Each structure stands twice: as C-alpha cells, then as structure tokens.
Amino acid sequence: MGNVEPKLVIGVPVGFVGAKESKEELRGVCVPQITTYGTKGGSNVAASILNSILYMVG
C-alpha cells in the first residue's frame, strides 16, 4: 500500500478512555498536527478547526 505522508493531522478524539493518551502519542509523531489537551474533542471540534483553517486561507 505504501507510506502515507499527511500534510496535516487534526487529532481531537473525544472521550475519557484513551483520548488523552492518543493525543499525547500523536504529539510524538513528526507530522504537522493540531490537537487538544485533556479529554476535550470530537467531530464538532474537528469541524470547527477545519472551518477556521479554510476561513483563514479563503
């Protein structure tokens, strides 16, 4: 399948089980990224982040 080289990862999983650890793991990977600290996150947060990026470049 090959290597994946993302230009940006928005890593904001929601929940109290493993969400914080998942975000900490992502921060250890060398890829441009946006994450939140703690247990905050979810699809609404990810959509808000993406919409803000699109607004800034548009």
- The DSSP secondary-structure symbol of 31 reads S
Over the chain, what is the mean pLDDT? Answer: 88
Sequential pLDDT tens for the chain (58 residues): 678 889 999 999 887 678 888 888 999 999 999 998 877 889 999 999 999 999 999 7
What is the pTM for the complete model shown?
0.78
Strand partners, 10: 34
pLDDT number for residue 48: 96
pLDDT above 70 covers what percent of the chain?
97
pLDDT number for residue 44: 93
* Pair of tokens at residue 46: 């990810």
